[in-house]
A and B are shown apart, each in its own frame.
Chain A
Amino acid sequence: MSTGIGARVTRKEDKRFITGKGKYTDDVRTENQAYAAFVRSPHAHANVKGIDASAAVAMDGVIDVLNGQQLTGDGIGNIICGWAISSKDGSPMNMGAWSALATDKVRYVGDAVAIVIAETQALARIAAEMVEVDYEELPAVAASDKALADGAPQVHENAPGNLIYDFEIGEADATDAALAGAAHVTELSLTNNRLSPNAMEPRSAVATFDEAEDHYTLYTTSQNPHLARLVLSAFYQVAPEHKLRVIAPDVGGGFGSKIFIYPEEIACLWASMKTNRSVKWTSDRSEAFITDAHGRDHISTAKMGFDANGKIVGLKVDTIANLGAYMSLFSSAVPTYLYATLLSGQYDISNIHCNVRTVYTNTVPVDAYRGAGRPEACFVMERMMETAAREMGMDPAELRRANFVQEFPHQTPVIMAYDAGDFSANLTQAMEAANVSGFAARKEEAATRGKLRGIGYSSYIEACGIAPSAAVGSLGAGVGLWESAEVRVNPVGTIEVLTGSHSHGQGHETTFAQIVAERFDLPIENVQIVHGDTDKVQFGMGTYGSRSAAVGMSAIVKAMDKVEAKVKKIAAHVLEASEDDIVIEGGEVKVAGTDKAMGWHEVGLSAYTAHNLPPDMEPGLKEGAFYDPANFTFPAGTYICEVEVDPETGATDVVQFTASDDFGTIINPMIVEGQVHGGIAQGIGQAMLEQVVYDDDGQLINGSYMDYAMPRAADLPDYSVHHASTTCPNNPLGVKGCGEAGAIGSPPAVINAITDAIGTNNLAMPATPQAVWNAIQAAM
């Protein structure tokens, strides 16, 4: 069976997971382990007047209680946002200080004020409850529009009116003029509901300080251990990089939430030095709800103008994005360069203008969650298109088709330059697979059962393969977004690939091995993928933004190019042939058209024995590469959702969900389909079930699985997943990335289907039975 590109290879990593031998951070236990618990604010906004830890410290088995004054006193730096966004008047964003442990003020429920270190986890938690904090409560604000209102409580002194920045993109005047001249203008107010990412593995950290070596080791639940080390070292001054090893072992899902470097990791590292003990902290789910960065939380109004033929002439969007109480690592980029730049959708639109105001509130920080900005953009675009089609009496599929970008490359008015795609092919494939022509009959049949059946489309586009370093640098990014790889051929011919990408469910240990096995025509068992350890892999930017295929694998290809060149040189020398005649196949390195050959392993051995290498060639067979993408990649596709609504109760079932995606080259269809399934599930979750709810005082109302509606098996349908691909011209494999598409494309498809079924546009996410029932009643 082939294990190369395009093969449905079962995963190399599975065996340890299905037998309970995975090694996650909480599974790590060091000698003489100590445990941490955090003292957290129960108030959304308060001055900290004093902390009395004496009762906790006096308990048997409590090692120490450390606070924010001590932390800042030791020179631990504030947590930073790594992407500088300017307001449209040129002023820099108003970033408030964020200390890993609050010093004088707490700004959300869950803000940490002290860390307790004890001999057991249970004891640490009990002791944390014994710490008395004297809070002076302050008025709080949780909703972003209320935070911008006159007289709203101030979250940070240096962000007047709670405004972080007032950003714009595109041409305001031209867009206004286009809308003024439009034959039809569709207008919608849209809310993108706030979500909690909920990777099933709660965050965890095990920090160990080695006093003799003056060296720290951190096991942590991270999607990007090198970035964690960089930030912990360069900005938080925990330890210099060469004195800090960060290991992200098996990580149980991320979805963006494990990109960021949180207060807990910083505090545990620092506490390990203060107490000279290895300090372990593992979040429980309730703690995760009040500490893991949330996602989405946009309020938007949009106007889309059409000419008499249904051609879009202009789009104007005004968005308020809630960033919570502090600016998390990528928080500023999500509602700007990952959102407003995608507001051309799949459509050829000449005039676009988007204004984005981001605000502080007394809530958990908001940052990237699966899709990060692009789901919010897709929701605006695809709700607008469906609504416009209804208002103009046009077929929603044909309105889309008539506006699709047809020629590539295509420069949008909002920065992005689409490189390849065939949007019409995806729409057609999805419509055929969904049997759209049979919908009327299905609707009629559903009506005989008293059900309202509806159909909804979503033609999404996203920008992945994040990102060309110079381009993002010019837009304010604090880091380059390349990736690195090292390909080590051992003397026996087996291969280790060290990658800066990080797998936390994506199956890199399999797909990455597939491209190596194919390239050198070797058994996939002979290839091992190594990742997640800063002592093993030199550097890497990690996994997010569907970048591991387009950027991570491209780096591997680049390193393999170098390995191949050296292999051919060695073989040509030993076999006394021309390099150009050397071919690698079937485990051998041969002279084409002759019977002269060396085993692949013999070339490896030759490189290391170095007895007979070409003059001036260095021994060894190990090559590294850094790959910086030339452009974003642009996965796109069409999703079609069908629902049945019970008008008596509002209960809604997704009865059919069809996807046609263009991900470019597909390495492992089984894994790609799994990524789409999971993304769609999170998208349906957003559309129908999930929402983080705060009350007006900033208290989190639904911080557990008893209250936050996680999608369960019976909430979700089977998915019908298809591919109609164009090759990405900007990377060597032609790949585009598939990790986020499902979560980006699906929410508007669901809402478009429900609103089609119930005959009203007035429906917010999540479309719970109550919300749907209310919408039906309001429309009557």
Chain B
Amino acid sequence: MTNVNMTVNGKAVSRDVPDETLLSEFLRENLRLTGTHVGCDTSQCGACVVHVSGKAVKSCSTLAVSLDGADVTTIEGLADGDLHPMQKAFTEHHGLQCGFCTPGMIMTSVDMVHRYNAAGKVLTSDAIRNELDGNICRCTGYHNIVRAVEDAASKMEAKGGS
């Protein structure tokens, strides 16, 4: 057991966990933040993506004890009062069906837009498709996810990259 302290969705948390505890387990089982999903066991599907210090991370491939002191945001903490533009875009463009991959898709996409905005690069639909390489969706065929990310990107840019 190791004591882990983190800030998760803006709140300080502290838990004693076995050293082998993955961040995904820590969030789901210790903190009961079950919006972060686990869809595979080879770090391929991306259902588990969260932000660590603002960057997208696959929580199924990260040990909780390695993140002592980290600032973690999960899908539950993404909205700041109102829904995040990416969340709104996913529903407006029907970018989700069963919803299982959706938290990871949204967290990956928010990070994607931030990175492209920061680098001053244009996020084309081809770029979105390539950037989603680590996120698998079985329901939507991706078409509407791409539309959602394009739309959210334009709105996030207008807002100054939030």
Interface residues of A (CB under 8 A from B): 10-11, 13-24, 26-27, 29, 122, 198-202, 250-253, 255, 284-286, 504-507, 670-671, 673-674, 677-682, 704-706, 710-714, 716, 718-719, 742
Partner of A200, one of B18, B75, B79, B98: B98
Known: A253-B97, A678-B139. 11 other contacts (CB 8 A): A10-B94, A18-B102, A19-B76, A24-B37, A200-B37, A250-B99, A284-B41, A677-B142, A705-B42, A710-B136, A713-B130
Q: List 21 A-B contacts (CB under 8 A).
A: A14-B91, A19-B75, A20-B35, A20-B103, A21-B76, A22-B100, A199-B100, A200-B39, A200-B45, A252-B39, A253-B98, A255-B138, A285-B42, A505-B98, A505-B99, A674-B139, A677-B144, A704-B42, A705-B45, A713-B142, A719-B143
Q: B23 in the interface, Cβ–Cβ < 8 Å?
A: no
Which residue on chain A has the smallest CB distance to residue B99? A17
Could you say which residues of chain B place their CB within 8 Å of the CB of A17?
Answer: 96, 99, 102-103
Give the complex CA separation of A742 and B135 in angstroms.
22
Q: Which residues of B contact A284 (CB under 8 A)?
A: 38, 40-41
Q: Counting CB contacts under 8 A, is B26 at the interface?
A: no
CB closest residue in chain B, given A253: B98
Interface pair B99/A252, CB less than 8 Å apart: yes
Determine if B83 and A19 form an interchain contact, defined as CB atoms under 8 angstroms apart: yes
Are A674's CB and B142's CB within 8 A?
Answer: no
Expressed in whole angstroms, the Cα–Cα distance for A26 and B24 within the complex equals 13
Q: A508 CB to closest chain B CB, in angstroms? A: 11
Which residues of A sit under 8 angstroms from B39, Cβ to Cβ?
200-202, 252, 285
B103 nearest in chain A by CB position: A20
Closest beta carbon of chain B to A118's beta carbon, Å: 14
B45: A residues at CB distance < 8 A: 200, 285, 705
**Are B94 and A11 touching (Cβ within 8 A)?**
yes
B138 contact set on A, CB distance < 8 A: 198-200, 253, 255, 678, 681-682, 710
Measured in the bound complex, the distance between the Cα atoms of B18 and A693 in whole Å is 37
Residues from chain B with Cβ under 8 Å of A710 in the complex: 44, 136, 138
A716 in complex: contacting residue of B79, B96, B99, B142, CB < 8 Å: B142
Question: Is the beta-carbon distance between A671 and B94 smaller than 8 angstroms?
Answer: yes
Going nearest first, the 6 A-B pairs with the smallest beta carbon separation are A20-B35, A252-B100, A17-B99, A681-B141, A505-B98, A20-B75
Inside 8 A of A122's CB, which chain B residues have their CB? 18, 20
Which A residues lie within 8 Å of B100 (CB)? 22, 24, 199-201, 252-253
Please report B residues at the A interface, Cβ cutoff 8 Å.
18, 20, 28, 32-42, 44-45, 47, 74-76, 78-79, 83, 87, 90-92, 94, 96-103, 106, 125-126, 128-130, 132-133, 135-146
Q: Quick check: A713 and B129 within 8 Å, CB to CB?
A: yes
Distance in angstroms from A546 CB to nearest chain B CB is 15
The answer to whether B35 and A19 have CB atoms under 8 Å apart is: yes
Task: Tell me if A18 and B87 are in contact (CB < 8 A).
Answer: yes
Closest-CB distance, B73 to chain A (whole angstroms): 11
The answer for the CA separation of A253 and B45 in the assembled complex, in Å, is 14
Bound-state Cα–Cα, A681 to B97, Å = 14
CA distance A763 to B45 in the complex (A): 30
Q: A19-B79, A19-B87, A24-B100 are in contact. Are A713 and B92 (CB under 8 A)?
A: no
Distance from A110 Cβ to chain B, minimum over Cβ atoms (Å)? 15
A200 touches B129 (CB 8 A): no
State A673–B94 Cα separation when bound (angstroms). 9
Q: Check A253–B44 contact: CB distance below 8 A.
A: no
Asked if B34 and A11 make an inter-chain contact with CB atoms under 8 angstroms apart, the answer reads no
How far, in angstroms, from A10 to B28 measured CA to CA in the complex?
29
Residues of A within 8 A of B94 (CB): 10-11, 670-671, 673-674
Which of chain B's residues has its CB closest to A675's CB?
B97
Q: Which listed residue, A11, A18, A713, A714, touches B145 by the CB 8 Å rule?
A: A713
Measured CA separation A656–B139 after assembly (Å): 20
Q: Are B133 and A712 touching (Cβ within 8 A)?
A: yes
Rounded to whole angstroms, the CA-CA distance of A286 and B128 in the bound complex is 28
Closest residue of chain B to A684 (Cβ to Cβ) is B141
* Given known A200-B45, A200-B98, A200-B101, contact A719–B141 (CB-CB < 8 A): yes
Closest chain A CB from B85 CB (angstroms) = 11
Residues of A within 8 A of B79 (CB): 19
- B128's partner among A198, A674, A713 (CB-CB below 8 A) is A713
Q: Smallest CB–CB gap between A743 and chain B, Å?
A: 10
Q: Which of A202, A706, A712 contacts B136 (CB 8 A)?
A: A712
* Cα(A712)–Cα(B134), bound, Å: 8
Closest to B88 in A: A18
A713 touches B40 (CB 8 A): no
A670 to B33, CA, bound (A): 30
| Contact (Cβ within 8 A) A705 B97 | no
B98/A704 in contact, CB under 8 A: no
| Residue of A250, A670, A680, A705 contacting most chain B CB atoms (<10 Å) | A705
Docked pose: A743 CA to B108 CA in angstroms: 27
CA distance A532 to B31 in the complex (A): 27
CB distance from B127 to the nearest CB of A (A): 10
Q: Is the CB of A27 within 8 A of B34?
A: yes
Q: How far is the CB of B124 from chain A (nearest CB, A)?
A: 12
**Residue of B35, B47, B133 most packed against chain A (CB within 10 A):** B35
State the CA gap A18–B95 with chains docked (Å).
10
A14-B90, A18-B106 known; A678 and B41 CB under 8 Å?
A: no
Nearest-CB residue, chain B, relative to A15: B91
User: Taking CB as reference atom, which chain B residue is nearest A285?
Assistant: B40
Q: A718, B146: Cβ atoms under 8 Å? A: yes
Question: A681 and B142: CB pair below 8 A?
Answer: yes
